[in-house]
Amino acid sequence: MKILLNKTSLSKSLGPFNDIGFVPTMGSIHEGHLSLIKRSNQVCSKTIVSIFINPKQFNSKKDFKKYPKNIENDVKILNKTKKVDFVYIPKFNDVFKSKNKPIVKLNKKDKILCAKFRQGHFEGVLDVMDKLTNIVKPTKIFMGNKDYQQLFLVKKYLKKKYNTDVVGCKIIRGKNKVALSSRNYLLSKTNLILASKIVKKLINVKKNIKIKKNKNKYLSTIKDDLQKQFKIKIEYLEFREINNLKLSNVINKSKIFVAYYLNGVRLIDNL
Ligand code: AMP
């Protein structure tokens, strides 16, 4: 596994290969990331993982500062998998020319779910994915369904500019059913137990929603109940179609999307 600290060494190392699988991450590597790496390793002849905490996608400086960082340990974990050929760990200036806000604009109809609550977040994500794709020039990019709206928007955006396939991969959960996330490292044991109770409730809600006439009305009562029961702030709890993310009232090809805060830590999931 070769560590690449800038795009010059990256293009030298990757130059000879034309079947590259790319797994972009912000580090604090967990089994969710490793599942993307396994997939890339099965499909592509070379796999590159990036570790870059992109400041442009944080809509709060405080959130950026407290985001977990653990590069040394990440490199150890990645090396142990024997499935990663290259790790790209760039500095800000290697990726971006300036600290200016991204010029990317979201369509009005995309300003839903996380885009509604985290202003500028996806603009930052699309900007960094544009830059990283241009640097890495991968054949395929592997991303998790866990961040479904991110996957949806990145797919749509990169399709216009690159001949790269964006592959959505299934959500990896812990034994407690909580979707793995780097942000889980910020949670106390008690909060993780709460997160587990919440996701188990939502798994039940997913079963019950089948027979509900107005599915989003049902979710809005569930939202009130959960907020009261667990004393949490839920940003959204909505039933949407997976193909276009429009509000849905049919079971087929639709999922529950949720974002909530547990002790100041923002968690998202979809079921
Ligand atoms: P992050 O490091 O959080 O930016 O995530 C990097 C990539 O890993 C993104 O494509 C995420 O969707 C994906 N990912 C994060 N958590 C999970 C998970 N629990 N299961 C599958 N993929 C995940």
Residue 33 annotated among the catalytic residues of the structure: yes
20 lines ligand 1 (CB under 6 A): no
pLDDT averaged over consecutive 10-residue blocks of the chain (271 residues)?
98 96 98 98 98 96 94 98 98 96 94 97 98 98 98 98 98 98 96 98 98 98 98 98 98 98 96 98
Chain centre to alpha carbon of residue 93: 23
Domains 2-169 and 182-270 alike in fold:
no
Domain boundaries, the chain: 2-169, 182-270
Give residue 166 CA to ligand 1 midpoint distance, Å. Answer: 14
Quote the pLDDT of residue 97. 95
What is the model's pLDDT at position 234? 98
| β 254-262/233-241 pair status | antiparallel
Cβ atoms of residues 234 and 226 within 8 Å: yes
Assigned fold of 2-169: Rossmann fold (3.40.50)
Helix (H) or strand (E) segment spanning residue 10: helix 7-14
Q: Which residues of 81-100 are buried (b: 16+ CB within 10 A; e: fewer)?
A: bebbbbbbbbeeebbbeeee
C-alpha torsion sign, points 90, 93, 96, 100: positive
Q: What is the pLDDT of residue 59?
A: 87
Distances 33 to 56, 172, 175, 213 between C-alpha atoms, Å: 21, 9, 17, 37
With 0-12 / 13-18 / 19 or more C-beta atoms within 10 angstroms meaning exposed / middle / buried, residue 167 is: middle
Strands 140-144 and 20-25: parallel
Domain range 182-270, CATH architecture? 2-Layer Sandwich (3.30)
Atom of ligand 1 nearest to the CA of 27: 2
Please choose from 26, 33, 167 the residue to mutate so as to test ligand 1's pocket, defined by most ligand atoms within 8 A of CB: 33
